[in-house]
Structure 1
Amino acid sequence: MTLQTVILAAGMGSRLGRSLPKPLTELSDGRSIMRQQHDNIRAAFGGDARILTVVGYRAETIVEAFPHVDYVYNDSYDQTNTSKSLLRALNKTGKGGVLWMNGDVVFDPRVLGRAIDLIERDQSFVTVNTDKVSDEEVKYTVNAEGFITELSKTVRGGIGEAVGINYISSSDKKAFIRQLSRVEDQDYFERGLELAIAEDGIRLQPLDISDLYAVEVDFAEDLERANLFV
């Protein structure tokens, strides 16, 4: 399978308190967060998988560390959020479906293996963890058919959390790009998905990976937790 993947790595990651971009943070096994992402992508989809990385803050340090992938530069990285970084990337990826992830996610390699069936069926999805529902995380609700209806940090009655690894199908991509163009600069990409669900009728499936680890590293305690797994 030749799959287009996108890693969102433009932000400053100031909450972790490091000078380097957060994806270059070293894990206890000696790899950086981004290296384990590359390793997981290659393990699931082979060496032909295309990786496009959105960079901004100290972009040259990421490019030097990973010179053999493609890049998009978000020159407004300090004024925009993930919606606009992802928009820049999707506009560079052609007509096919795209798997994307936040550049700070440390995750079990089996997560992507579980996603292969949905990707092969070209079914849009969001990976989720139903074991916990924290106020600060992106939460979701579903309709009677099991597809996502709401997806944001302000969702009430959320049944789980989004993990930060997602796929948009070739058929849903155009609508999603249009909605990402509409949202505010400081919106997360999840706002674009919500609008595409409500206004374009895309069907976004939750992919439950609650039995596998996936940690978004925002704070030092998140890094400590991630290091328990790698």
Structure 2
Amino acid sequence: MSRTDATAPQQIVILAAGLGSRLGRSLPKALTELSDGRTIMRQQFDNIHEAFGPDARITVVVGYKFEHIVEAFPSASFVYNEQYDQTNTSKSLLRALRASTSGGVVWMNGDVVFDPEALRRAARLVRDDQSFVAVNTSKVSDEEVKYTTNAEGYIAQLSKQVVGGLGEAVGINHVSKADKAVLMRQLNKVDNQDYFERGIELAIEQNGLLFEPVDISDLYAVEVDFAEDLERANLFV
């Protein structure tokens, strides 16, 4: 089990405030049970602790039926997005970053089922305080967040509207200590309905931040939006 920093536990944020209505469940989507008996969020907690150690500081951004998540994970810290039904992930992430302490932050969408190796692979960049976006280059779907890179190999564009994308963002990311304040300013500026990727894209365009794409195409990472996504995720766990 590796630790990215010998002096301070890693800060991890899970974005789980949304309604998750497309999956058609009564509880928050992150509490959806997988075929191995764990919930989506429990497998995320397990993966985080495997990569960053038992002392990793996990903060969950909650909103819809938040009390169920609080009850299921009493050891976590929580940030409440009271506008969960009016805002998107940009504003949930902004709340979490404002609540974070000094240092970089890893964050993920609360509906991603992923290979534990994904965080282990990214740990080097966390240790080096390099901002990154985990990506999958094996498929490029129109409805997913896509990306392009610049001549140096860093992220250039990052949105659902990208044309000629090299792959998809999988919903696991890191902002370095040095980049965090800039990203927060951009997240504050974007529209309430924007995804957090818009804040990253503006920080790249306007402030020259460098986000490295971390290719995890050989690993599984499934964002569970629909019933068929859940079926696919259950093939891996």
Give ranges in structure 1 of 5+ residues lacking alignment: none
SS at match of 2:107: strand
Distance 1:194 1:122 in 2: 19
Does structure 1 residue 181 correspond to structure 2 residue 188?
yes
Residues 109-135 of structure 1 deviation map (CA, whole Å, 9 limit, x = unaligned): 000000011010000000000000000
SS at match of 1:229: coil
Distance 1:113 1:88 in 2: 26
For residue 47 of structure 1, what is the aligned residue in structure 2? Answer: 54
Instruction: Report matched runs for 1:136-215 at 5 Å.
Output: 136-215=143-222
Shift of 1:9: 0.2
Distance 1:197 1:44 in 2: 28
Instruction: Report matched runs for 1:8-47 at 5 Å.
Output: 8-47=15-54
SS at match of 1:175: helix
Does structure 1 residue 111 correspond to structure 2 residue 129?
no
Residues 64-117 of structure 1 deviation map (CA, whole Å, 9 limit, x = unaligned): 011111000000000000000000000010220000000000000000000011
Does structure 1 residue 92 correspond to structure 2 residue 99?
yes
Tell me the C-alpha RMSD between the 2 structures: 0.4
State the one-letter code of the partner of 2:59: L
- Identical amino acids, percent of aligned pairs: 71
Distance 2:160 2:112 in 1: 17
Distance 1:173 1:200 in 2: 12
State the one-letter code of the partner of 1:135: D
Does structure 1 residue 102 correspond to structure 2 residue 87?
no
For residue 235 of structure 2, what is the aligned residue in structure 1? Answer: 228
Distance 1:125 1:137 in 2: 18
For residue 81 of structure 2, what is the aligned residue in structure 1? Answer: 74
Does structure 1 residue 62 correspond to structure 2 residue 66?
no
SS at match of 1:40: helix
SS at match of 1:72: strand
SS at match of 1:91: helix
Tell me which stretches of 4 or more aligned residues in structure 1 moved more than 3 Å: none
How many residues align? The count is 230
TM-score, normalisation: structure 1: 0.99
